[in-house]
């Protein structure tokens, strides 16, 4: 059981190690070599002296250009002690494994992200003996993935989007499409991703919404008829299910935001058979001041 956002933010990379290198390319725009293999390593960096030191997640990645160590640190707030620990971690791990270490910091806080991104310099002014430049993943550079189709294309990245934005106002726009996209993976993976996301949500209302969505996901995987549709991939049944899900999502967003929904609005949304139109309405539901604003523009 993942009990905190700190644990969830780095453990998502243990669930899908390749997500980290995709984040380099899609979020940080760092030209990291294409990986061939991953291995999660022991995160302990304690020496013989009784001083415990531990990184959050440590992975070895093999590429055509050689092996790298990916050192992932989850950071909730500024901590100046880290500016002493991180250079030590990298030097120690390089000596232990003889692989180039890459420090990645992931956070849900924009101010913490800016602090963590500052280079750590050790040595004389103007002549650094050591410079550490963390790669930082946070709410300012992770895209908001609020489309079911986009979430299905790269589900782990959509999960990362929900986790990094989990304490902000954009969380609601991500949760509903992501819940629908989770139905495209196996039940065990959906449960793990769902737990990681819940641990990162700061708003109690967002947590309640996510728990309701996860209840629907568990029903989907446990219901024989839904499972049959999922396994056989019947186009008609799947399309009908998408329409119902998207219409229900639009109405639930309005209800979650405490916006009154008239019977006329409810009937119009539920009667719509255009998936693209329903997606537009779902997006508008996140910012609409009145339920009728869904249909304007």
pLDDT in tens, 146-187: 888 889 999 999 999 998 988 877 777 788 888 888 888 888
- Residue 141's pLDDT is 93
What's the pLDDT at 222? Answer: 67
Q: What is the pLDDT of residue 238?
A: 53
178, 214 Cβ separation under 8 angstroms: no
Separation CA 154–CA 172 (nearest Å): 19
> What CA–CA distance (Å, rounded) separates 9 from 55?
13
- DSSP 3-state of 99: coil
Q: Which of 35-49, 64-78, 118-132 has the lowest mean pLDDT?
A: 35-49
Q: Flag whether pLDDT at 113 surpasses 80.
A: yes
What is the per-residue pLDDT for 241?
A: 64
* Model confidence pLDDT, tens digit, residues 213-250: 887 777 667 655 444 544 544 444 455 666 777 788 78
Q: Which two tokens mark 92?
A: 């120690």
pLDDT confidence band for 297 (50 / 70 / 90): low
pLDDT band at 276 (very low <50, low <70, confident <90, very high): confident
Rg (CA), the chain: 22
Mean pLDDT over the full length of the chain: 82
Angle of the 235-256 helix axis to the 204-222 helix axis, nearest 10: 160
Task: Please report where in the chains the tokens 């956070």 appear, as a residue.
Answer: 107
Region 270-276: what's the mean pLDDT? 86
pLDDT of residue 130: 92
- pLDDT above 90: residue 201: no
Q: Which helix (H) or strand (E) holds 134?
A: none
The answer to whether residue 138 scores a pLDDT higher than 60 is yes
């Amino acid at each position: 059981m993942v009990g905190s956002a700190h644990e969830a933010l780095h453990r998502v990379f243990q669930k899908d190690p390749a997500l980290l290198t995709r984040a380099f390319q899609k979020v940080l725009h760092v030209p990291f070599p294409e990986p061939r293999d991953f291995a999660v390593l022991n995160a302990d960096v304690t020496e013989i002296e009784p001083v415990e030191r531990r990184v959050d997640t440590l992975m070895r990645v093999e590429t055509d250009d050689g092996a790298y160590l990916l050192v992932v640190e989850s950071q909730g707030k500024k901590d100046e002690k880290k500016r002493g620990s991180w250079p030590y971690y990298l030097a120690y791990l390089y000596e232990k494994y003889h692989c180039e270490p890459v420090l990645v910091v992931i956070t849900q806080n924009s101010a913490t992200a800016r602090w963590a991104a500052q280079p750590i310099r050790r040595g004389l002014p103007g002549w650094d003996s050591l410079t550490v430049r963390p790669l930082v993943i946070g709410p300012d550079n992770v895209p908001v993935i609020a489309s079911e189709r986009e979430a299905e294309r790269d589900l782990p990245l959509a999960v990362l989007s929900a986790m990094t934005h989990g304490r902000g106002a954009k969380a609601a726009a991500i949760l509903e499409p992501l819940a629908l996209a989770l139905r495209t993976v196996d039940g065990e993976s959906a449960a793990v991703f769902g737990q990681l996301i819940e641990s990162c949500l700061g708003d109690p209302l967002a947590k309640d919404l996510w728990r309701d969505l996860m209840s629907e996901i568990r029903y989907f995987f446990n219901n024989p008829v839904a499972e049959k549709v999922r396994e056989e991939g019947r186009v008609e049944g799947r399309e009908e299910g998408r329409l119902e899900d998207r219409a229900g999502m639009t109405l639930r967003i309005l209800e979650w935001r405490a916006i009154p929904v008239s019977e006329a609005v409810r009937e119009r949304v539920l009667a719509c058979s255009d998936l693209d139109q329903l997606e537009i309405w779902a997006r508008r539901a996140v910012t609409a001041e009145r339920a009728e604003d869904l249909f304007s523009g």
